[in-house]
Structure 1
Amino acid sequence: MEQRHVNLILIAILLIAAIWIDLPQNPGIKIGNFEKRFETVLGLDLRGGMQVILSVPPEVSVTQQNLQDAAIILENRSNALGVSEVVFQTAGERIIVGEFPGATNAEDVINKIRQVGQLEFVDFGDTPFPEGTVIETDFGITESSTPESPNPESTPTATSTETSTPEATPEASPTPAPIRYHTVLTGRDLKSVGVSRDTLGRYVVDIEFTDEGARIFKEWTTQNVGKYLGIVLDKRVISSPVIREPITEGRAQIEGNFTSESANALAVQLRYGALPIPLNIEQIRVVGPTLGQDSLQKSLLAGVIGFIIVMLFMGIYYRLPGVVANMALLTYAAITFAIFKTIPVTLTLPGIAGFLLSTGSALDANILIFERLKEELRNGRNLRQALDLGWKRAWSSIRDSNISALITSAILFWFGSTFGASFVKGFALTLALGVMVSLFTALVVTRAFLETAVFDLFKDADKKPGWFGL
């Protein structure tokens, strides 16, 4: 079996997989606990939604690192549970821009952004509290300004979001002063958080502390076996695990009746608990879905028209190689779109423009090869020699042009990340992915298709120079 036949088999497998991923109603993949869906993700300008502009208050000093960290935390909070379209980016020295494609409820967006996210590990003593209970802690309170917190065990009360039970308020004191529970550690002491399964297949949340956090946690758990450690976010209890044994290595597991969704939700709350700076909402802008849908339809129509014109030109001017290039171009489009759905890439109008521009790179490589091929045929080479020399001599030009395009894409992506220009990032990402796929199709797919056509399907092609535009 010749190399072109091996390449054809690999291309066929890749193309079948790409077409399957590209199907509009693709069911996705589910193997055991692994699940992957293939969906087209549309950005704010195509799908509609909301854009929020946040600013750091003037009286607060802020570094670029603080601003970038806040943007990452906000984005991770929104995206870590599967909503992969939300984007937060810095713009300038004190601004963060958030985009919520498909969002229609401004109140939900505001509540998500305004969540302070102060994570605390609190000593509950012998009294666990149900999820949702609001408590007070001594975190951030100095002894000089506030009396010493009472013993949590002496008065098992707390302010709750649910209706208070008779046990919640001692009869002797109808209006007890709220107590403060001691904060053992905060979210700053966490090093990593993840979700796994124990030996019985139950979901658990794995946490690892920093070196200092591990030291404090070791001392506390050694002295408080059998006690409850409250995990509190913004003074609201999200879990009350019991300490079963001293934890001396800085790693722990939170057990409970978790599902995959609830375990990951808790992990997200632990991992992205605190914002390093306060933020004000300066503006909320709504992008209507009608405008986005109209833009999408016009973009797709323009893309289809451009594809048809290019394919007609290639077929008329280059004849047989042009028809082969058109087949390779369709293969390129199927593979690239499959990659966009697999990652997934959020498609915006600039992103679609980057994809269409990378199509030009795919055709540019083919044109360079075909022109070299025609030169070799004019110089008296036979078809096999002309094909080999055509690809070999066009390679340096193809290599340099594609490397230049990738460098440009990297610079644009960095610019978009640094200055909050998400549309520039989308353009750069789709352009870079398209250029890499176009390089593969030009060097592998087009050659395999053309060699199959002239050596297997049309064996007398070398006697018909007109088929090659000569």
Structure 2
Amino acid sequence: MLQIDLWKRVLIWVLCAAGLVMALPNAFYTRVEGANDAVAAIEVRGETPELTEQAGQWPSFLPSSLVNLGLDLRGGAHLLAEVQVEDVYESRIKALWPDVRDVLRPERDTVGTIRRQPSPADELHVKISNPENMARAIEVVRGLAQPVVSVTSAGEQDLDVSAEGDTLIVTLSEAERRATDDRTVQQSLEIIRRRIDEVGTREPTIQRQGADRILIQVPGLGSAQELKDIIGTTAQLTFQPVVSRTSDENAEPGIGNEVLPSLDEEGLYYILEETPVVTGEELVDAQPAFDQNGRPAVNFRFNPSGARKFGDYTAENIGNPFAIVLDSEVISAPVIQSHIPGGSGIITGNFTVEESTNLAVLLRAGALPAGLNFLEERTIGPELGQDSIDAGKVATIVAFAAVLVFMGLSYGLFGLFANVALIINICLIFGLLSAIGGTLTLPGIAGIVLTVGMAVDANVLVFERIREELRTAKGPARAIELGYEKALSAIVDANITTFITAVILFAMGSGPVRGFAITLGLGILTSVFTAIFVTRLMIVIWFERRRPKTIEV
């Protein structure tokens, strides 16, 4: 006999109702999106009459999660960036010189005087006056080497030390370069993600491609240049000792020094020590503020390590200028008036409020460890996105209508039950996408269209099995029961294999392929649920009320 327990019936209808409610906001997309934006703005800036009115466009007791529209539907910016990993080698070598100098100084009786020599960007050359004791110098400098932090290079050292005549040469080892490349790309990926999240864009796609490339897609941005302005600035902040000031851009700085221009005063240049005292990597917070004269500025705070170095240097160099350098430009060079404990300070300059806010965002997100070379950039206009949406709607409606007509003509009343379940199925897909914060792309729409066609497969299997059981002169109740029992294995097998394919596509693919895999996978789950449980429940309820002696499928 056909029988479904009461608790199962209630659970099935509750799940259907929950899916329909979760999908409801997508039917009022523009209104709900505006209300969500207003609520977010109220949390940041406080209530205003305009924001309160906009937030009230959608009832607060209803779900407000939406299916995010991908780049091809909403329009936006697309960038493919290559990380200049070689930049990190130079900064590592620059930072290595003070340590090499400190370990060789106690050995002056053996190796003689030491002097840094001009060298390639990724090498450190140190000349010693007693080359006959070069072996001792190499041994001492090799003591600075550390194990490479990498699973594939366990046991290897991060420095290679060699000699040519009276010159000691220090470079990064190949194992360290490989590990550094990987860390640099991963760090760049995370910093780009943080910077874009700070701006508040919806559902950006930020993925690593190959060894040193990063794909960035941000829906809703007006241009690729706007995206480059957000992520393209390295925002490398350093605090460096000032050697002197000059008006000559081509002045000879000397070994271990560099010439950098002043941001505020045109024609003024500073000669600075290359090795910074503190870097922006040791910042833990940066906030826009105003200085004592009411001009826009940025407050900053160091971590304990940076605070200690900053405090020690200011205590030892009272009366000396100290340059604050941002992206190879001196934004200010104040004279140290007193010891600055606590590791906090303020960056002043000719900022606007917007510039100080953007600078705080960049510093807070962290400095990019290396420069980016943009290999590909595209701006996708909203008109193209709207065309894709319209084409997707037409394709979905045509497929949907064709399936409804086919099922109605082929299976009569049972086909009508299948059509109702198909409508619920589509609503469940959008409800799940909204609940998980999924992104709908044009391939995702193709996945939904495919799901519409696949959704009736299970019902077709069941109905055809019921037809066969009716031909064996079984009663209608027994035919329906056997139809579902015997079709179940075929339904499960077919959908499991397709679901595995969707999982593989999601795991191995990227971008549009993942969008297709998500909608296909969710569609399979909802299709099986509606075919096995929803359609069956509707048939059982109809059968219990009508008690027909015969049925036609």
Deviations 1:105-131 (A, max 9, x none): 4432221231214477x79xxxxxxxx
Q: Higher relative contact order by CA 8 Å / sep ≥ 6: 1 or 2?
A: 1
Partner of 2:524: 435
Residue matched to 2:73: 46
**Is the contact between residue 350 and residue 426 of structure 1 (CA under 8 Å) also seen in structure 2?**
yes
- Per mean C-alpha deviation after superposition, the further-off stretch among 427-436 and 324-333 is 427-436
- 1:129 — aligned with what? none
Whether the aligned pair in 1 keeps the contact of 2:202 and 2:220 (CA below 8 Å) is no
1:303·1:356 contact (CA, 8 Å) conserved in 2?
yes
Instruction: Report what 1:98 is aligned to.
Output: 216
How many angstroms apart in 2 are the aligned matches of 1:439 and 1:105?
Answer: 42
Amino acid of the residue matched to residue 438 of structure 1? S
Instruction: Say whether the 8 Å CA contact 1:21–1:338 is kept in structure 2.
Output: no
Between the two proteins, the alignment pairs up a number of residues equal to 384
Provide the residue aligned with 2:21 in structure 1: 17
Query: How far off is 1:189 after superposition?
Result: 9.3
CA pair 329-146 structure 1, distance change in 2 beyond 3 A: same
| Structure 2 segments unaligned to the other structure (5+ residues) | 45-59, 88-176, 241-253, 286-301, 314-323, 332-340, 344-356
Q: CA deviation at 1:328?
A: 0.9
C-alpha change, 1:424 and 1:15, in structure 2 (3 Å) is closer
Distance apart, 1:285 and its partner CA: 2.3
* 1:124-203 superposed matches below 5 A: 145-146=256-257, 187=281
Instruction: Give, in whole Å, the separation in 2 of the partners of 1:327 and 1:380.
Output: 29
Matches within 5 A, 1:266-345: 272-345=365-438
SS in 2 for 1:23: helix
Residue number in structure 2 paired with 1:452:
541
Q: Could you say which residue in structure 1 is the equivalent of 2:128?
A: none
- Go from structure 1 to structure 2 and tell me whether the alpha carbon gap of 1:217 and 1:110 turns closer, same or farther (over 3 Å shift): closer
Change (3 A) 1:426 1:72: farther
Q: Using the alignment, how far apart are the partners of 1:344 and 1:219 within structure 2?
A: 43
* SS of structure 1 residue aligned to 2:546: coil
User: What is the alpha-carbon distance in structure 2 between the residues aligned to residue 348 and residue 236 of structure 1?
Assistant: 45
Distance of aligned partners of 1:269 and 1:50 in 2 relative to their CA distance in 1, 3 Å threshold: closer
Structure exhibiting the larger radius of gyration computed from Cα positions = 2
1:15 CA drift (Å): 4.4
The secondary structure found in structure 2 opposite 1:100 is strand
Q: Find the aligned partners of 1:447 and 1:315 in 2 and give their Cα distance.
A: 17
Asked if 1:401 is matched to 2:463, the reply is: no
Q: Displacement, 1:301?
A: 0.7
Match of 2:207 among 81, 84, 89: 89
What is the CA distance between 1:179 and its match in structure 2?
8.2
1:414 aligns with 2:507: yes
2: CA distance, partners of 1:74 / 1:297: 33
Contact 1:22–1:334, Cα closer than 8 Å, also in 2 = no
Per-residue deviation, 1:343: 3.1
**Contact 1:8–1:449 (Cα < 8 Å) also in 2:** no
TM-score by length of 1: 0.65
State which of 227, 230, 238 in structure 2 corresponds to 1:109: 227
CA distance in 2, matches of 1:376, 1:415: 43
**Offset, 1:428:** 1.3
Counterpart position of 2:91:
none
Could you tell me which residue of structure 1 aligns to residue 354 of structure 2? none
Q: Do the aligned residues in 2 keep the contact of 1:372 with 1:393 (CA within 8 Å)?
A: yes
Contact in 2 for aligned 1:353/1:427 (Cα 8 Å): yes
Q: Is the 8 A contact 1:324 1:449 kept in 2?
A: yes
Question: Secondary structure in 1 aligned to 2:509?
Answer: helix
Task: Tell me which amino acid in the other structure corresponds to 2:197.
Answer: N
User: Are the equivalent residues in 2 in contact too, given 1:7–1:444 (CA < 8 A)?
Assistant: no
Q: Give the distance between the partners of 2:373 and 2:469, measured in 1 at CA.
A: 67
- For residues 352 and 55 of structure 1, do their structure 2 counterparts lie closer, same or farther at Cα, with a shift above 3 Å needed? same
Kindly state the Cα deviation for residue 281 of structure 1 after the two structures are TM-superposed: 1.7
Q: Which amino acid aligns with 1:405?
A: T
Q: Which moved more, 1:307-316 or 1:396-405?
A: 396-405
Distance in 2 (alpha carbons) for counterparts of 1:389 and 1:79: 54
Counterpart residue type for residue 108 of structure 1: E
Residues 334-356 of structure 1 show CA distances to partners (whole Å, capped at 9, x for unaligned) of 12112223333222211110122
1:76 and 1:430 map into 2 onto residues whose CA distance is 27
Q: CA deviation at 1:288?
A: 3.3
Cα distance in structure 2, aligned partners of 1:335 and 1:80:
32
Whole-angstrom distance in 1 between the partners of 2:461 and 2:359: 55
Q: Which runs of 5+ in 1 are unaligned?
A: 124-142, 148-158, 164-174, 194-208, 225-230, 238-244, 248-263
Q: 1: CA distance between counterparts of 2:23 and 2:507? A: 32
Cα RMSD after superposing both structures:
4.9
Is 1:75–2:168 an aligned residue pair?
Answer: no
Normalised TM-score (structure 2): 0.56
Deviation per residue, 1:20-63 (Å, 9 max, x gap) = 33331335697997998433432222233332232245966774
In terms of mean alpha carbon deviation, does 295-304 or 177-186 score higher? 177-186
CA distance in 2 between partners of 1:397 and 1:64 (Å): 47
1:116 maps to a residue whose letter is T
Q: Secondary structure at the match of 1:319?
A: helix
- Native 8 Å contact 2:205 2:217 kept in 1: yes
Paired amino acid for 1:13: A
CA distance in 2: counterparts of 1:410 and 1:12, whole angstroms: 24
Say if 1:177 and 1:319 are closer, same or farther in 2 by CA, change over 3 A: same
| Cα separation, 2, equivalents of 1:346 and 1:391 | 35
Instruction: Please tell me whether the aligned partners of residues 19 and 432 of structure 2 are also in contact (alpha carbons under 8 angstroms).
Output: no
